[in-house]
A and B are shown apart, each in its own frame.
Chain A
Amino acid sequence: MSFRNVIEGTGLTIEACADVLGVDRELFQQWSDGQKEIPPAYAVLLAAILGVRSEILLAKSREGSVNAGNAGPAAIWFKFRGSSFHDADRETILLMRRLGHNANQLEKAVRGGTNRTWEILFEEVRKGIDYQAAPQEQGREAARVFSELTQFGQGGTGCSEILRDSLRSRGILLIESPIYKSRIEGCSFYVGEGTSQRPCLFVNNYTTTWFRRNLVIMHELGHAIFDQTNGGEIDVAEDEATDQTLRISVSELRAQTFAKETLLSKSILLPTLNRNRMKAASLTPIQLATLISETGIEQRTIVEIMLERGMIDNVLADTYLAYDVWGILKSLTDHALSTREYINKIGKKAAAAWTNKRFTTTSARRLLLPVPYVKAVLDAVRGLSISTGRACELLMIDQYTFSERYPEMELAE
């Protein structure tokens, strides 16, 4: 397998690979053609992103190929082949894998090692599962153990508000970034090199609501817990053309049940209804909006869950689905506001702290970095754990963009 073969094996273009490394395209082409040798520092980085051994990339291309056990790129790239996915999808995955590598590097600089708390949690959840049981049963049991260990849903309250911080604090990489015109709703796979691998959950936030994304996050988490050996799972937004077999596969059913049960188990739903003096069989639009606001789950999923649990019938389900709750919801929670509405509410000055300061710029395709990650990088600069130049690499921006975005941080002596 040669340098060029590895790139072709991913379905990526030379340009995309060059961009994500922040390397001049002409120079990258020369590496690929074997005219110049790739510096080991870049070979290691590219290998980690593509999921190959760096020896393959370091072998001089003039030798044609290297016998490295025919080690091809990571399994996730095979899943992104075919006409269902576009360059945008593949390039976004590439950026995410780079982010995964960067997150490991940041933790090494700041903590001296990577956060692997997720590993113990996943192991505990998997331990209690009967893999011969129905997928829904597996998902339910997994959700029960997970909620117990993480204290999700404790006190009968929804966990949507804390789930992002909670997952990230355990070393799980969670990214919500737009991929325009993509069918991908979410996906999960492992990023990082060798023993530093960590789960990465991605949710496409292009024209989706925060309420929908909570479900997608937990669904992808379900995949990350159970389907690690598959090389990753991709979930596309459902429409008429969606393959039915995708919806009914064991892993999909298990992940979906896990997501629903974690976010809205009986021990969350019933106390929430009681606390607000509501009855599932006679919800008004205001009450349904309150339920959405308090649990952080979208209307469709709440209705689906109540129907599955026999709390309402099909007629009532249709009635609830027909409620227009969005206007009410906006008065109950900021999560229902559009970005523009939210900025108007908090004021442009407050919004300026993070607006347009999180997108990567080294490649044509841009990734919206998580706020906690950007904050952690800047804190590492302030704490002298990393230099500003290194911060640029970790944020995937150039130094000029860094100076513009964060003028309070001097670049040079």
Chain B
Amino acid sequence: MATDSSLWFIFDSDALIQIFVAEQQGLFQILLDNYGIRSFMMNEVDTEIRSNRKHGGRIKPWLDKAVKSGLLRMISAGDLESLKNEAQGGITLADIRSLGFDYNIYVETGEAYTHAAGVLLQMPVVSNDRKAIDVLEQKGKTLPPTILRSFDLFAFVYAEGFIDDKAANLLLKNLKTQLEWCPPCFKNASFVNGMSMFACRLQTSLSINTTGSKWSDSLYLGRVDGQTDSESALGDE
């Protein structure tokens, strides 16, 4: 992935569901204000979240709020247009859907289109489904430059001091109460204790955003200078 100041995180439904269940939707604002990262999802992911039998009803108002505020956006033709002068220029929604259609033969709809967007736009994807990654790799499909888990974000905001011990432990408790997946090191530990064993794929760097050559390599985020105005960064919302 090219180093870039206008970075997008493209979220899959399982990761977004965890963020909402953990009541950590403040993440989107943190990512935008401090690292200039805009949060996106595909339309198919929005459908999956709203249709989730266990959490959909509870999450919908939060999702609506996040979308309405512009902190979480569905990738649109206009958004892709804004990338045209950059490294990912020229990619259309039709391109993403064409690749997503192919990936969807092997993996779930939401993650298929999320990974497709990540691959074509060369942007990081946030998805918890390791099996889907294994399947796509097995089938020789290209993967996004970086794949994060929801816990990479939780760990990152904790490590960076955006949430304290109490809030971190509470988010883990919320997830466990809902029988949500969590990495093994957190299964029988508090968030704070589990952190010492967790290999977070999200780190800070002094300036620019950069990553390694494999999807599981750490992504280094550089803080933006000053505070980014969320509204101006969101463009045509």
Contacts and interface: CB of A to CB of B under 8 A. Distances in A.
B132 A400 contact: no
Interface range, B side: 35 or more
Given A109-B106, A385-B106, A389-B107, A39 B131 contact: no
Nearest to B56: A24
Contacts of B131: 381, 384, 387-389, 410-413
Contacts of A384: 131, 134-135, 138
Nearest to A106: B105
Contact of B50 (A24, A386, A392, A413): A24
Contacts of A388: 129, 131
Interface string B128-172: 111110110011000000000100000000000000000000000
A22 B128 contact: no
A385 B135 contact: yes
A40 interface: yes
Nearest to B18: A412
Given A24-B56, A389-B132, A413-B149, A41 B100 contact: yes
A44 interface: yes
B104 A41 contact: yes
Contacts of A392: 108
B47 A413 contact: no
B215 to A, nearest CB: 12
A413 B130 contact: yes
B54 A400 contact: yes
A55 interface: no
B212 to A, nearest CB: 19
A85 interface: no
A187 to B, nearest CB: 28
Contacts of A23: 47, 50-51
Given A41-B44, A41-B113, A400-B54, A390 B108 contact: yes
A33 interface: no
Specify which of A26, A386, A410 lies most central, judged by the most chain B CB atoms within 10 Å of its CB. A386
B183 interface: yes
Contacts of A398: 52-54
Chain B CB count within 10 A is highest, among A27, A37, A40, A387, for A387
B48 to A, nearest CB: 9
Contacts of B52: 398
Interface string A73-92: 00000000000000000000
B221 to A, nearest CB: 21
B181 interface: yes
Contacts of B33: none
A42 B45 CA distance: 11
A39 B43 contact: yes
Contacts of B106: 109, 385-387, 390
A313 interface: no
Interface string B179-190: 001010000000
Contacts of B183: 413
Q: For chain B, what secondary structure do more than half of its interface residues adopt (helix, strand, loop), or is it mixed? A: helix
Among B42, B110, B132, the one with the most A-chain Cβ atoms within 10 Å of its Cβ is: B132
A39 B47 contact: yes
B204 interface: no
B109 A41 contact: yes
B42 to A, nearest CB: 7
Interface string B22-56: 00000000000000000000111011001111101
B110 to A, nearest CB: 8
Nearest to A27: B50
A389 B108 contact: yes
B176 interface: no
Contacts of B113: 39, 41
A393 interface: yes
Contacts of B173: none
Contacts of B44: 39, 41-42
Nearest to A105: B105
A108 interface: yes
A393 B110 CA distance: 11
Contacts of B97: 40-41
16 contacts: A23-B47, A37-B43, A39-B113, A41-B97, A42-B109, A386-B107, A387-B106, A387-B135, A389-B107, A389-B111, A390-B108, A390-B135, A411-B131, A413-B130, A413-B149, A413-B181
Q: Which 3 A-B pairs have the closest CB atoms?
A: A413-B130, A389-B108, A387-B132
Given A389-B107, A413-B183, 13 more contacts: A24-B50, A26-B50, A37-B43, A39-B44, A39-B46, A41-B109, A41-B113, A386-B106, A389-B14, A389-B129, A400-B54, A412-B181, A413-B128
Interface of B: 14, 42-44, 46-47, 50-54, 56, 97, 100-101, 104-113, 128-132, 134-135, 138-139, 149, 181, 183
